[in-house]
Structure 1
């Protein structure tokens, strides 16, 4: 006997690029998990060129828009109408404008929209006018998003406050755990003790902050390696040269799986202005590598729960950052015990949510027809 068709049998998700961002990495892992669990998955990608193209999962239909601009990505509305999925998944804050556009264009023809909150909603990097406009934009989200997903309880609470969303409209689902790859440690991993950064070379990550702090560390036997690629490479290289660190700082670029390098690092640093639930912190603690992180999200202190596993500093506290780094770089410093990561069943949890969203939409429409 054939199994009945699940309510959310066909899932459509989208992203601009496959350049290596955490949002896109998580999306590909989720899409692969959904396909493995028997759902039809369509990914609409602006441009599939990029290091994450190697991670495109089997069994997933990939459609390309041919442009990475947000204006060009508005084609997602027409594609959603022609593809006719059961549910539309928006993988992060950056993309919710496209979800809003799709709902506006399609109206009642738009499938239920499930949107993941991928970054902090309280953006301390914004000036006053931008912050006010952003708060207004966030308050609109419950009008076009059917269900929200937060990656931690604290982020769900923040969504209630910043978006005015009902708590029962927010599900807490961690990102899926990365699958280990074979022989992916970069050959340029420094010998001896080294500090590691992992993430896109983008302004948000504030690698300039880490480079300046590293230059002020007294111990000259320590190296710094930053794994990632992005538009800020030339600016970062210039800063490294200006601080006279050319022999001590390495920028190998993107690696498919940073876990082997994380496991060998003396400590991992994440010094961003803003984050969501930083997966790299969880990945680091999972292999027993201590972390130093800026207080860039309400979720950071949910991950760094004790001084025994890492240090949290205020963004902009240069002296505090140097002190925290020197603490964990001290020779002989004990490493924390590995902390298991959540998210093993993330793909299945999303499918339950998608099915619920589709059934809820059908129920509401049934009531409207009966009225």
Structure 2
């Protein structure tokens, strides 16, 4: 049987603290190893809730740092020593690593496949930073040989903002989560709203908490699955509104799907997203979704009101009304949306094509 062209794939992460980028990266790595590829993961710190999700067979190199600049500095030397066939850059936050590695190694750098994991229009940045970020995005075509977006709308945005030729863009959805034994891992009330994601400013869980205080059902709790630096801030917010007893910060769970299946509704209140996997996962188990218009991709994921409601980021009244409608007596659960395709295999095909064209692999 013919050997695969990309036999050795190298990727990197700063921490395993529970971010969506790293979670998907580890899902893909598990599948690639299962299909006979060698996968090396360079990680700054391998402690954290995602550590248990590193598959047997993934070679893990720890560099003992939580400093992003140190990760950027260390990766080129490790790539030069390990000589992988290709590099996988798992998300926007890691493209500086890819850029510096290409700058240091030049033509000796293996071909690099990047993945868009977050919005390219960063509304959270002040004007000068947004302008600098826009310039940085347009440099990516010089060091990413191929780029994967998670939806057609995201690919269109990348072609424009990153000056990335369409022939070097591909659309691949995230792989579904690996199902556990069916247990959530936390005690859940009989009826609840659910949010899934890190407790960080981008997710704006304070919006969900503020809406919770105004719902017609003054007893339903909000369960947040995820961990992060905003934990204490969010609890103080609930205390100020007098609903601390209705906010359950359950921490990270390896498999949130059972909790999604049992939720009255799944809420996502972010300022910005790429293609939020939580929306696709919730719809796959028939959970209704209420989300902010944090990305054009939500309109692709939720094509009609049978499956979910999309509200403006700062429209608090619309958020409350949408949740009330979804959890009210007349609210119907949507038909589950089947998850199809083979994302891991699609990535391997791209890696193989990059290695096959290696003699002329410099971006053009």
Aligned residues: 361
Would you say the 8 A contact 2:33–2:58 is kept in 1? yes
Residue 164 of structure 1 corresponds to which residue in structure 2?
Answer: 163
Q: Which residue of 2 aligns with 1:303?
A: 301
- Structure 1 gaps of 5+ residues are 366-371
**1:23-172 aligned within 5 A:** 23-74=21-72, 75-172=74-171
Q: Does the 8 Å contact 2:111/2:361 carry over to 1?
A: no
Aligned to 1:227: 225
CA-based RMSD: 1.2
* Residue equivalent to 2:206: 208
Q: Matched residues in 2 for 1:137 and 1:82: separation?
A: 28
Residue equivalent to 1:282: 280
Give the TM-score of the pair, scaled to structure 2.
0.97
- Report the secondary structure of 1:340's partner residue: coil
Residue 350 (str. 1) matches residue 356 (str. 2): no
Q: CA–CA distance in 1 between the matches of 2:21 and 2:159?
A: 21
Moved over 6 A (4+): none
1:16 to 14, 17, 22: 14
Instruction: Summarize deviations over 1:301-344 as a string: whole Å, max 9, x none.
Output: 110111010000111111111111111011241100000124x4
Please state whether the residue corresponding to 2:218 is helix, strand or coil.
Answer: coil
User: CA offsets, 1:109-160, max 9 Å, x none?
Assistant: 1100110000011122222111111110100000111000001111100101
Q: Structure 2: which 5+ runs fail to align?
A: none
| Matching residue of 1:362 | 359
Once the 2 structures are TM-superposed, how far is the Cα of residue 208 of structure 1 from its aligned partner? 0.7
Indicate conservation of the 8 Å contact 1:34/1:347, yes or no: yes
- Aligned 8 A contact 1:184 1:255 in 2: no
1:60 Cα deviation after fit: 1.0
Match of residue 7 from structure 1? 5
Q: Distance in 1 between matches of 2:59 and 2:289?
A: 38
1: CA distance between counterparts of 2:360 and 2:120? Answer: 31
2:183 aligns with 184
TM-score, normalised by the number of residues in structure 1: 0.95
Which residue pairs with 2:310 in the alignment?
A: 312
